[in-house]
């Protein structure tokens, strides 16, 4: 059993707005081990990015607040730490890659400067060592001619290369946990494949725990060991990647997989999930997916299905799975 | 070296020549003037400029009502005007930038309070406020700069704040936070350098306005006092002789006009040069 790097327990993040409280993250629990990749998949607006920001304690204030739960990084509860302590953790122990490589780099500074910045922030290394380390990082993310590239500017690089440089910045201090928020969404398919292969390679080399947030099941299948499916601020199913694709249990997961276009099956209408995701200010009583579920029962609209264990590491929040064993 | 030369390509030549002359006059003024600009010579009052009837080669631009050589006064006046303009721009720019970055980045109630203050400054008639403030502080060069600084910061604040709001949404600011940068470091290393372009354009445009404002206040007796040669003050002093010694009013006025115009043209060129280049490179 690999050691757990991150354990998230029942985290709730709410936004207070003029028209009500938006429950962006409403009781999310999962864990990631060393050298393991957890994929968080779900529709836009289901709370994936907000979960990541909650772990980093960068929820947009003052409207957003983490109102409950615990986030354990190697045993330490991040939600109890002061902002100053979080600043030492961010970049050195937890890091994040964002979605848009075109705006993720400061246009006024060289690549070398930007990769060196986290190293300078978090360690007191000598200037020459910092530059050497930055060049090493560029080599790690497979940027050609890294020493020459140290003095280039972001606008001289393509999107794929910029995303790799963002990865270099994120990994410069060898963090224990790397969160990638939709890292491939802005890239073309070939570059996507390169980036995914790179992330996998880096994980094997550095043993970093990864969380990959995406809505692309293709990415999930290639890089993730375990998958958590999110809906309306809650995780509805968690399992290892083979089980999620081969034997999904929650109706939402099943519907999501069914809606993926298939090749070679002849022209057919794409499957959709009827209805709309619920308004996060006014979640329905009981299961949030009940209004759109094909297998809804009476109990689904009255009682919220707690997380239950239905097999090796496979948990689901659904009344259809029977009482099972409570995963609490 | 080549990069600097390329940066100056296409610079508008006439404004830069005018400004260069003014700056040269300001720097070397006291050493190149033919006469002491403050020394009266009541025997030689009202000599017209060279080329006019009664003009002489000794006083190329004539003399004023106290017999002081006018060319010398204009040249030394350049120094005062430039100093006042530059200092006013520096103080307004400094206050405006600090307000804008604080309000824009922190948002919330800080933003609301600072912006209401900015709106209040922008909605007040500046000459009125200038006169009132100058009246309270009294005449003098430093007080003049203070008044101009207080009058000018609001326009900087408004424009730079909107730049900061745009920058805040760009991912590299979020990335800076993710890598563990504290607030101060983010503001100084990422936000400020990215608004410097806008600041330079605003400063160049404000320079011309500051000179005119300084001249206006001196004209009203609120700025520098005689016998200091300052272009606005010289216009005021020459006012009563306008029908007989018209050059006493026209020549300083022309200097103010040309300097302000050159600064404006340069600022326009800078705005075009710095902004699209930034975007086309990005």
What is the per-residue pLDDT across A65-92, written as a single tens digit (0 to 9) for each?
888 899 999 888 988 888 888 888 998 8
Q: Which of A90, A99, A108 sits opposite B178 (nearest CB)?
A: A90
How close, in Å, is residue B85 to chain A by CA atoms? 29
Task: Please state, in angstroms and as integers, the Cα–Cα distance from residue A137 to each residue in A58, A116, A312, B42, B177, following that order.
Answer: 26, 9, 38, 79, 20
Residue B15 lies in a domain: no
Residue B183 lies in a domain: yes
pLDDT: which is higher, A69 or A312:
A69
Query: Is cis: bond before A62, omega within 30 of 0?
Result: yes
**Centroid of chain to Cα B156:** 13
So what's the pLDDT on residue B281?
42
Residue B4 lies in a domain: no
Quick one: pLDDT band at residue B278, thresholds 50, 70, 90? very low
Asked if B178's CB is within 8 angstroms of A121's CB, the reply is no
Does residue B101 have a pLDDT over 50? yes
Does residue A328 have a pLDDT over 60? no
User: How many angstroms separate the CA atoms of B270 and B257, rounded?
Assistant: 20
Tell me whether A169 touches chain B (CB under 8 Å): yes
Measured between beta carbons, the chain A residues lying within 8 angstroms of B108 are 62
Average pLDDT of span B42-62 = 77
Total structural domains within chain B: 1
Residue B122 lies in a domain: yes
Q: Collapsing DSSP states into helix, strand and coil, what is residue A209?
A: strand
How close, in Å, is residue A93 to chain B by CA atoms? 10
Measured between beta carbons, the chain A residues lying within 8 angstroms of B190 are 106
Among B146, B245, B171, smallest CA distance to A96 is for B171
Q: ipTM of this model?
A: 0.82
Asked if A170's CB is within 8 angstroms of B172's CB, the reply is no
Does residue A326 have a pLDDT over 60? no
Rg of chain A over all Cα atoms, to the nearest angstrom: 21
Architecture of domain A4-93+175-274+306-326: 3-Layer(aba) Sandwich (3.40)
Kindly report, as residue ranges, where domains of CATH 3.40.50.300 are found in chain A: 4-93+175-274+306-326
User: How many angstroms separate the CA atoms of A262 and B231, rounded?
Assistant: 80
- Which single residue is written with the structure tokens 């290892």? A240
pLDDT: which is higher, B207 or B273:
B207
Average pLDDT of span B88-106 = 93
Asked if A100's CB is within 8 angstroms of B171's CB, the reply is yes
Tell me whether A166 touches chain B (CB under 8 Å): yes
Which residue does chain B place closest to A59, by CA atoms?
Answer: B174
User: How many angstroms separate the CA atoms of A48 and A38, rounded?
Assistant: 12
So what's the pLDDT on residue B89?
93
CATH at residue B268: 1.10.3720.10
For A186-223, b/e burial (b = at least 16 CB within 10 A) is bbeeebbebbbebbeebbeeeebbbbbbbbbbebbebb
A:104-133 residues touching chain B, CB 8 A cutoff = 104-108, 117-118, 121-122
Residue B37 lies in a domain: no
Does residue B15 have a pLDDT over 60? yes
Residue B28 lies in a domain: no
**Centroid of chain to Cα A135:** 27
Does residue B8 have a pLDDT over 70? no
What would the pLDDT profile of A174-228 be if each residue is shown by its tens digit?
A: 999 999 999 988 888 888 899 999 999 999 988 999 999 998 888 999 999 999 9
Domain assignment of residue B117, given as a range? 69-281
Quick one: pLDDT band at residue A323, thresholds 50, 70, 90? low
Does residue B279 have a pLDDT over 50? no
């Amino acid at each position: 059993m690999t050691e757990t790097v991150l354990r998230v327990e029942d985290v709730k993040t709410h936004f207070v707005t003029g028209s009500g409280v938006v429950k962006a993250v409403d009781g999310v629990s999962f864990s990631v081990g060393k050298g393991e990749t957890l994929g968080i998949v779900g529709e836009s607006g289901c709370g994936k990015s907000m979960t990541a920001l909650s772990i980093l304690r960068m929820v947009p204030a003052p409207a957003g607040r983490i109102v409950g739960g615990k986030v354990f990084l190697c045993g330490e509860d991040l939600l109890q730490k002061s902002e100053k302590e979080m600043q030492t953790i961010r970049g050195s122990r937890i890091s994040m890659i964002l979605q848009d490589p075109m705006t993720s780099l400061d246009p006024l500074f060289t690549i070398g400067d930007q990769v060196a910045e986290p190293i300078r922030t978090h360690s007191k290394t000598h200037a020459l060592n910092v530059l050497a380390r930055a060049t090493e990082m560029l080599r790690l993310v497979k940027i050609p001619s890294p020493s020459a590239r140290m003095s280039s500017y972001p606008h001289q690089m393509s999107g794929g290369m910029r995303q790799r440089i963002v990865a270099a910045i994120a990994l410069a201090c060898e963090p224990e946990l790397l969160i990638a928020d939709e890292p491939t969404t802005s890239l073309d398919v070939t570059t996507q494949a390169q980036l995914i292969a790179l992330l996998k390679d880096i994980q094997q080399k550095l043993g970093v725990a990864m969380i990959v947030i995406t809505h692309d099941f293709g990415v999930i299948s290639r890089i993730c060991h375990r998958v958590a499916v999110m809906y309306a601020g809650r995780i509805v199913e968690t399992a290892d990647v083979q089980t999620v694709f081969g034997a999904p249990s929650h109706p939402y997961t099943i519907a999501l997989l069914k809606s993926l276009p298939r090749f070679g099956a002849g022209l057919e209408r794409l499957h959709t999930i009827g209805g709309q995701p619920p308004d996060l200010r006014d979640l329905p009583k009981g299961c949030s997916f009940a209004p759109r579920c094909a297998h809804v029962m009476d109990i689904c609209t009255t009682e919220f299905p707690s997380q239950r264990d239905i097999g090796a590491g496979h948990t689901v929040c659904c009344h259809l799975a029977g009482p099972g064993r409570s995963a609490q | 070296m080549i990069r600097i030369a390329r940066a100056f390509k296409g610079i508008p030549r006439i404004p830069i020549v005018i400004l260069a002359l003014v700056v040269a006059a300001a720097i070397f003024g006291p050493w190149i003037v033919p006469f002491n600009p403050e020394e009266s010579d009541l025997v030689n009052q009202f000599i017209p400029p060279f080329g006019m009837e009664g003009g002489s080669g000794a006083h190329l631009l004539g003399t004023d009502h106290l017999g002081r050589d006018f060319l010398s006064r204009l040249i030394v006046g350049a120094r005062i005007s430039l100093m006042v303009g530059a200092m006013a721009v520096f103080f307004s720019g400094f206050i405006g930038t600090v307000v804008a970055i604080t309000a824009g980045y922190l948002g919330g109630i800080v933003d609301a309070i600072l912006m209401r203050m900015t709106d209040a400054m922008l909605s007040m008639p500046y000459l009125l406020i200038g006169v009132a403030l100058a009246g309270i502080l009294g005449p003098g060069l430093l007080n003049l700069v203070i008044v101009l600084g207080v009058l000018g910061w609001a326009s900087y604040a408004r424009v730079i704040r909107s730049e900061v709001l745009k920058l805040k949404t760009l991912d590299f600011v979020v990335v800076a936070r993710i890598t563990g940068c504290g607030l101060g470091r983010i503001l100084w290393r990422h936000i400020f350098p990215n608004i410097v372009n806008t600041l330079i354009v605003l400063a160049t445009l404000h320079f011309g306005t500051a000179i005119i404002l300084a001249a206006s206040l001196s004209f009203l007796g609120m700025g520098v006092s005689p016998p200091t040669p300052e272009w606005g003050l010289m216009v005021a002093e020459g006012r009563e002789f306008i029908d007989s010694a018209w050059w006493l009013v026209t020549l300083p006025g022309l200097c103010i006009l040309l300097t302000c115009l050159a600064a404006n043209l340069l600022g326009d060129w800078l705005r075009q040069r710095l902004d699209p280049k930034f975007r086309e490179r990005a």
